[in-house]
């Protein structure tokens, strides 16, 4: 990760935006921070104030009753402050422990609203993973901003109180040198100069050490991403488990994990060394400051400028000042260094969508008769110069079936992505009823299509939510879609009806489904939405040709008069369509019925048909 230099104004703006987000997530955060700072101050200074009072009363020969009252106030007050402070702090920590999960929701919403082309960008996914790895492994980002800012606020309140006591302590020096202002100024100047020097040295050491630690941690972030891939995306997956065992991949994976862990271990070892060296340096500086302060206290007591009881108060204040100052410096340094991670978070949220959303409403037609035309369309994927579709021109026949066939990699799926406007053409245009689809309201346009992709996913939701793709649904309509898709047996196996989860990932009462049932469930989802266009993009590629043909032909019966597009590299699966489009190297090279295309002995369709004939002779018999 490159070090990005930010000026002071940028630091302020980025962190202010982060604090505004925290306020949205926890509206009462700052009020609660102030309450906690007040009670932390009372809790920390109560014992010093009333212990000093008790000692002074004892030295002055106060009565037993007065001393008893002092003890009761000291003990009872400290106990009460402790209980209140612990309660406030526990609730505060509860809220803070969830801050990243709440902030993470915004990233998930962003992922789901991004242009689809970003979803196919590994760079985008790596950015998202690095933000999450930095947050979960090191607490960087919004959660670090939450803890450090509120911690700095608490410490600032306590530092101001301590500083006030120190100024008062220094002011007592004037009483030690009555009538000798030069000596008083010299004494105070030497004391203040040494104190400030030692404080500055502590701050500089904290800053340099924190910077070194951050650099080490940044190098480790990609290692955590790699580790997550091996452990969560591969080793823990059921699909990988078979390959790991059958091909004896255990030694290879152990070596890979060892290679990933080695820099992580080395990084933590370096962090330990840097932290230890910093602690030693800071400890020496704090010892020198303490010696300086105790010299001052002893000097003032001997000169009778302060009482014996005040020594307890001022010594406690100085001790707390050193602790609070050390934490205060660390927190502001961490805030400064954390800014780039807050920026990473917002930079991700600010990634602009390139796609024009459009404003025109899609024409409402009771007959579902829509005309789609590709007019001289060319397309290449972002980051590539190779056209996947080249001067591609076709026009759908209204209400009929279009089968799109061709070799793997010919551009069939890209054609569907452009049709559904997951991508926009590089050149040319796509028209719906004569109007460029980019002018239509994007969400309305998407609602025209139900698609079952080759790489469809069935999440571990309840069956009803899976079919409806929504939390609220028409139960009878879901059941009808399931039965039409041939899932009567699945319906009978559902112990909780439509609330039965698919798979057992999160609920042991869920139903496990086979690959074939998953395909039918995806088809039921397409049937439920009852859209004008229905597309099957090779969702049955894993099936044999005969089984795929049966699925396609049955689905064709189910959709009635709707316009349908069937994608396959197997010609037999779509031969029932009267309109077959053949794609080769991104171009539409043939179009016609099966009978017409197979008669063209020089065409690609004829060659593919005869090459594949051995696999589907039973189908045409």
Q: How far lies 5's CA from each of 12, 16, 126, 393, 427, in Å?
A: 14, 18, 22, 50, 39
Cβ–Cβ under 8 Å, residues 172 and 328: no
Query: CA-to-CA distance for 537 and 548, rounded, in angstroms?
Result: 12
| Structural domain total, the chain | 2
Q: Report which of 81, 195, 174, 159 is spatially closest to residue 317, judged by C-alpha positions.
A: 159
SS3 (DSSP) at 568: strand
Instruction: Indicate if 126 and 251 belong to the same structural domain.
Output: yes
Instruction: Indicate if 337 and 475 belong to the same structural domain.
Output: no
pLDDT in tens, 465-499: 989 988 888 999 999 999 888 888 888 888 888 89
517: alpha, beta or left, given left = phi > 0 and alpha = psi -120 to 50? alpha
Residue at which a domain ends, from 308, 331, 349: 349
400 within a domain of the structure (yes/no): no
Q: Report which of 353, 325, 356 is spatially closest to residue 436, judged by C-alpha positions.
A: 356
The residue-averaged pLDDT of 284-313 equals 77
Helix axes 308-349, 122-138, angle to 10 degrees: 170
- Among 6-10, 331-335, 366-370, 389-393, top mean pLDDT goes to 389-393
Instruction: Indicate if 344 and 462 belong to the same structural domain.
Output: no
Instruction: Indicate if 69 and 199 belong to the same structural domain.
Output: yes
571 within a domain of the structure (yes/no): no
428 within a domain of the structure (yes/no): no
The whole-number pLDDT of residue 425 equals 94
Q: Report which of 417, 352, 383, 344 is spatially closest to residue 126, judged by C-alpha positions.
A: 344
Instruction: Indicate if 462 and 338 belong to the same structural domain.
Output: no
426 within a domain of the structure (yes/no): no
274 within a domain of the structure (yes/no): yes
The whole-number pLDDT of residue 365 equals 64
246-255: list long-range contacts, CB under 8 Å, 24+ apart.
none
Instruction: Indicate if 343 and 468 belong to the same structural domain.
Output: no
140 within a domain of the structure (yes/no): yes
Query: CA-to-CA distance for 258 and 61, rounded, in angstroms?
Result: 71
pLDDT in tens, 498-511: 898 888 878 888 88
pLDDT in tens, 400-450: 888 898 888 889 989 999 999 999 999 999 999 889 999 999 989 998 898
* Residues β-bridged to residue 436: 431
- Residue 121: give its domain's CATH number: 1.20.1560.10
Q: Report which of 228, 209, 218 is spatially closest to residue 338, judged by C-alpha positions.
A: 218
Cβ–Cβ under 8 Å, residues 136 and 100: yes
pLDDT in tens, 63-99: 888 888 888 888 888 888 878 777 777 777 777 778 8
- What is the phi/psi pair of residue 366, to 5°? -70, -25
Residue tagged 């990243």 (tokens): 100
Query: CA-to-CA distance for 129 and 203, rounded, in angstroms?
Result: 33
Query: Which residues, in sequence order, are CB contacts of 238 under 8 Å at separation 6+?
Result: none
Q: Is the pLDDT of residue 348 over 90?
A: yes
Average of per-residue pLDDT values in the chain: 82
Query: CA-to-CA distance for 248 and 241, rounded, in angstroms?
Result: 10
| H or E stretch at 449 | strand 449-453
107 within a domain of the structure (yes/no): yes
Residue at which a domain ends, from 333, 349, 365: 349
HEC secondary structure over 84-104 = HHHHHHHHHHHHHHCHHHHHH
417 within a domain of the structure (yes/no): no
Domain that holds residue 92: 8-349
Residue at which a domain ends, from 510, 530, 550: 530
Query: What end-to-end distance do the CA atoms of the chain give, in Å?
Result: 63
């Amino acid at each position: 990760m490159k070090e990005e230099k930010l000026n002071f104004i940028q630091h302020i703006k980025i962190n202010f935006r982060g604090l505004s987000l925290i306020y949205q997530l926890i509206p009462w955060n700052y009020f609660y921070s102030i309450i906690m700072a007040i009670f932390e101050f009372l809790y920390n200074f109560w014992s010093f104030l009333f212990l000093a009072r008790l000692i002074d009363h004892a030295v002055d020969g106060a009565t037993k009753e007065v001393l008893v009252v002092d003890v009761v106030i000291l003990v009872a007050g400290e106990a009460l402050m402790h209980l209140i402070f612990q309660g406030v702090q526990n609730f505060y920590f509860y809220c803070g422990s969830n801050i990243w999960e709440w902030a993470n929701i915004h990233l998930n919403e962003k992922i789901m609203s991004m242009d689809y082309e970003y979803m196919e960008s590994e760079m985008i996914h790596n950015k998202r993973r690095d933000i999450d790895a930095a947050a979960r492994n090191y607490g960087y980002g919004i959660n670090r901003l939450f803890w450090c800012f509120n911690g700095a606020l608490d410490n600032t309140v306590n530092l101001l109180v301590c500083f006030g006591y120190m100024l008062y302590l220094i002011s007592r020096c004037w009483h030690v040198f009555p009538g000798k202002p030069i000596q008083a100024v010299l004494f105070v100047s030497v004391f203040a100069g040494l104190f400030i020097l030692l404080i500055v040295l502590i701050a500089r050491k904290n800053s340099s050490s924190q910077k070194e630690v951050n650099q080490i941690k940044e190098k480790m972030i990609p290692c955590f991403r790699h580790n997550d891939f091996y452990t969560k995306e591969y080793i823990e997956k059921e699909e990988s488990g078979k390959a790991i065992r059958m091909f004896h991949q255990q030694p290879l994976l152990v070596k890979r994990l060892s290679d990933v862990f080695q820099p992580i271990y080395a990084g933590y070892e370096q962090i330990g060394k840097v932290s230890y060296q910093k602690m030693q340096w800071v400890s020496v500086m704090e010892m020198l400051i303490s010696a300086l302060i105790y010299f001052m206290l002893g000097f003032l007591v001997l000169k009778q400028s302060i009482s014996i009881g005040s020594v307890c108060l001022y010594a406690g204040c100085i001790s707390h000042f050193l602790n609070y100052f050390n934490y205060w410096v660390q927190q502001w340094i961490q805030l400064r260094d954390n800014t780039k991670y807050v920026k990473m978070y917002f930079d991700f949220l600010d990634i602009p969508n390139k796609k024009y959303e459009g404003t025109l409403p899609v024409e409402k037609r009771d007959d579902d008769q829509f005309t789609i035309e590709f007019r001289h369309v060319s397309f290449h994927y972002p980051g590539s110069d190779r056209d996947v579709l080249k001067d591609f021109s076709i026009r759908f026949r209204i209400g009929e079936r279009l089968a799109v066939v061709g070799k793997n990699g010919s551009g069939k799926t890209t054609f569907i992505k452009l049709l559904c406007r997951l991508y926009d053409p590089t050149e040319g245009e796509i028209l719906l009823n004569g109007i460029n689809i980019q002018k239509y309201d994007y969400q309305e346009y998407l609602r025209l299509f139900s698609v079952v992709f080759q790489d469809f996913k069935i999440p571990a939701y309840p069956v009803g939510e899976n079919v409806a793709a929504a939390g609220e649904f028409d139960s009878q309509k879901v059941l009808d879609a399931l039965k039409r898709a041939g899932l009567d047996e699945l319906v009978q196996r559902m112990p909780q009806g439509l609330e039965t989860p698919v798979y057992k990932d999160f609920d042991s009462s869920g139903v496990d489904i086979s690959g074939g049932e998953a395909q039918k469930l995806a088809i039921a989802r397409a049937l439920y939405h009852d859209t004008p266009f229905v597309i099957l993009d090779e969702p049955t590629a894993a099936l044999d040709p005969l089984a795929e043909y049966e699925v396609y032909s049955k689905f064709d019966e189910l959709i009635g008069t709707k316009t349908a597009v069937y994608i396959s590299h197997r010609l037999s699966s779509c031969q029932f369509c009267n309109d077959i489009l053949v794609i080769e190297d991104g171009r539409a090279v043939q179009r016609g019925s099966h009978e017409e295309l197979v008669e063209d002995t020089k065409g690609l369709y004829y060659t593919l048909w005869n090459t594949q004939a051995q696999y589907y002779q039973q189908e045409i018999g």
